[in-house]
Amino acid sequence: CANPSCHGNGERPLELFAPERHRLDPDDVFLKTPLSHDELRANFLRASAFIDDFDGTSSLLRKPIAPSAGGMEHEGGVCFESTDEPAWQVMRRWVRAALGAEDDA
Predicted pLDDT of residue 54:
62
The answer to whether the beta carbons of residues 22 and 12 sit under 8 Å apart is no
Mean pLDDT, to the nearest integer, of 47-63?
79
C-alpha torsion sign, points 11, 77, 17, 61 = positive
Q: How many Å separate Cα 77 from the centre of its chain?
A: 13
Predicted TM-score (pTM) of the model is: 0.78
Predicted pLDDT of residue 19:
95
The answer to whether the beta carbons of residues 2 and 16 sit under 8 Å apart is yes
Q: How many CB atoms lie within 10 A of CB 64?
A: 20
Mean pLDDT, to the nearest integer, of 73-81?
87
The answer to whether the beta carbons of residues 95 and 58 sit under 8 Å apart is yes
